[in-house]
């Protein structure tokens, strides 16, 4: 039943076709127009905002004030006139509405109540809410029926414009209600790529001590972003466990954060380089004969943002800075004056450089980005001895070439198992592996190109 509904998303605009809004102002800096704000300026600065299609899993501990991150995200979405779908398994509708009373925009908000007839057990205390029902609240009468719940969720989504934001208040509550982490994982496996294709950003909350390491590892494999919130003595810490497409090691370190009411501040230990980056970028742009608009279009920024950057009124994020340098065909070190310049040819990527990068994921296997271009991308996968995985390393819609660099592995595709050795290659077009295993006593390395 779930698979049959996957066809609905095919008639939707791809996320790249969703109209972009003006860039977000965040504490004096701007996010590129293809990014979405978390509603917390210091978080946007740290991670360079969310990408369209990001599913964001929050692994939280008690006492970490994670609700402030949710409310800021919802508030920012309302400010941008975006629809918000809030799916509640852990809290009554009255409790949710009270919590959001100060920021709620009724015309943009839909609450899907899986609590009243779920963990609330149809108790009269909770059913009284429906004596005077709120038109923005949809009660799921049989939340234990996953197919019926999914059908309702999809029907609501079909009535909304592309790009609506989602909050699933508790993967833990889902598991408690459905009684099986495998059922919760199957639902997430279905919804995560669907929401990605629909160009939304979705928050998923889970209590990390309530789930097995295997469950959390499986979620990290599928989703695009994972944050860990923890409490140590009297201090709160945020740490990124996964940020697909980001390679700055700084974001993967613990960062202390402070919450005053709903005002959130994240402390970054990043050391800023004191240099006139804006003027140097302008000098290089003028030297190449490129207009502000031409350069802005190349890196998906607005000309006004580029103008502010060149006048040092705002500071670029690391990823924006690197995009600008690539567009101008210059070495980033030339503008930073921060040590020895790169002497390698621009088309050369050394092994040491690849494996010094932060892995895109590192649960059962480590996945390293080798190259990303306009028409081709490549990753290297390292499988430790004896490791087996009942899924592919990542998912996308393109053909893949998988080349075995080192080791002996087995792969299963559509029920057929084959053994591969160094030098063997497989060409994936429509079907993807359901099982990988390192059969040897040493690490196995694969090069994947698409």
Taking alpha carbons only, the member of 326, 257, 250, 318 closest to residue 295 is 326
For 108, residues 6+ apart whose C-beta sits below 8 A from its C-beta are 77, 78, 81, 82, 83, 84
Q: Residue 9 pLDDT more than 60?
A: no
Q: Residue 253 pLDDT more than 90?
A: no
d(CA 176, CA 173): 5
Q: Residue 357 pLDDT more than 80?
A: no
For the stretch 241-261, what's the b/e string if a residue is b when 16 or more beta carbons lie within 10 angstroms of its beta carbon?
bbbbebbbebbbeebebeeee
pLDDT tens column, 143-193: 999 999 999 998 988 888 778 999 999 999 999 999 988 999 999 999 998
Most confident by average pLDDT, 119-128, 228-237, 368-377: 119-128
Q: Residue 282 pLDDT more than 80?
A: yes
CB atoms within 10 A of CB 443: 15
Q: Residue 2 pLDDT more than 60?
A: no
d(CA 60, CA 229): 5
Going by DSSP bridges, is the β-strand pair 35-36/50-51 parallel, antiparallel, or unpaired? antiparallel
The per-residue pLDDT for 226 is 94
Residue 393 vs residue 445, higher pLDDT: 445
Strand partners, 256: 237
Taking alpha carbons only, the member of 58, 63, 14, 55 closest to residue 36 is 55
For 57, residues 6+ apart whose C-beta sits below 8 A from its C-beta are 171, 204, 206, 219, 220, 223, 225, 226, 227
Residue 215 vs residue 4, higher pLDDT: 215
**What is the set of domains in the chain, with CATH numbers?**
2-266 (3.40.50.300), 277-336 (1.10.260.40), 351-449 (2.60.120.10)
- Give 163's DSSP letter: T
- Give 108's DSSP letter: G
Q: Residue 138 pLDDT more than 70?
A: yes
The per-residue pLDDT for 83 is 94
The pLDDT confidence band at residue 22, using thresholds 50, 70 and 90, is very low
The per-residue pLDDT for 186 is 94
The per-residue pLDDT for 413 is 93
| Element (DSSP H or E) covering residue 139 | strand 137-139
d(CA 31, CA 45): 8
Q: Is 449 helix (H, G, I), strand (E, B) or coil?
A: strand
For 85, residues 6+ apart whose C-beta sits below 8 A from its C-beta are 110, 112, 153, 156, 157, 160, 164, 165, 166, 167
The pLDDT confidence band at residue 11, using thresholds 50, 70 and 90, is very low
Alpha helices in 205-276 (DSSP H): 213-222
Q: Cα dist. 90→55, 115, 266 in Å?
A: 20, 6, 27
Is residue 85 within 8 A of residue 157, CB to CB? The reply is: yes
- Give 238's DSSP letter: E
């Amino acid at each position: 039943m779930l698979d049959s509904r996957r066809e609905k998303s095919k008639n939707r605009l791809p996320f790249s076709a969703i109209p972009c809004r003006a860039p977000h102002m965040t504490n004096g800096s701007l996010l590129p127009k293809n990014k979405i704000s978390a509603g917390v300026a210091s978080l946007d600065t740290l991670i360079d905002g969310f990408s369209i299609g990001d599913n964001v899993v929050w692994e939280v501990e008690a006492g970490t004030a994670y609700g402030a991150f949710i409310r800021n995200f919802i508030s920012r979405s309302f400010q941008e006139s975006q629809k918000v779908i809030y799916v509640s398994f852990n809290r009554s509708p009255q409790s949710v509405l009270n919590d959001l009373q100060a920021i709620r925009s009724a015309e943009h908000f839909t609450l899907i109540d899986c609590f009243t007839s779920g963990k609330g057990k149809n108790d009269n205390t909770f059913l009284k809410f429906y004596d005077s029902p709120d038109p923005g609240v949809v009660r799921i009468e049989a939340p234990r029926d996953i197919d019926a719940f999914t059908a309702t969720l999809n029907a609501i989504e079909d009535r909304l414009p592309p790009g609506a934001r989602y909050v699933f208040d508790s993967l833990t509550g889902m598991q408690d209600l459905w009684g099986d982490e495998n059922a919760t994982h199957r639902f997430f496996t279905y919804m995560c790529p669907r929401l990605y294709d629909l160009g939304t950003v979705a928050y998923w909350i889970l209590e990390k001590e309530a789930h097995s390491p295997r469950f959390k590892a499986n979620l990290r494999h599928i989703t695009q972003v994972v944050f860990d919130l923890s409490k140590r003595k009297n201090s709160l810490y945020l740490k990124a466990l996964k940020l697909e497409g980001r390679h700055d090691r700084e974001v993967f370190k613990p960062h202390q954060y402070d919450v005053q009411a709903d005002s959130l501040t994240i402390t970054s230990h990043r050391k800023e380089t004191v240099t006139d980056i804006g003027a140097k970028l302008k000098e290089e742009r003028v030297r190449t004969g490129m207009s502000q608009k031409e350069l802005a279009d190349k890196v998906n920024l607005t000309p006004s943002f580029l103008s502010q950057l060149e006048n040092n009124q705002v500071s670029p994020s690391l990823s924006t800075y690197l995009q600008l340098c690539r567009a101008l065909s210059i070495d980033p070190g030339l503008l930073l004056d921060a040590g020895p310049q790169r002497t390698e040819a621009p088309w050369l990527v050394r092994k040491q450089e690849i494996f010094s990068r932060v892995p895109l994921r590192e649960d059962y296997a480590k996945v390293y980005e080798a190259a990303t271009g306009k028409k081709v991308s490549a990753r290297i996968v390292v499988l430790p001895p004896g490791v087996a995985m009942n899924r592919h390393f990542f998912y996308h819609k393109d053909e893949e070439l998988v080349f075995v660099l080192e080791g002996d592995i087995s792969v299963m595709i559509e029920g057929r198992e084959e053994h591969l050795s160094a030098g063997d290659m497989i060409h994936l077009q429509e079907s993807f592996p359901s099982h990988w295993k390192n059969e040897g006593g040493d690490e196995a390395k694969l090069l994947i190109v698409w």
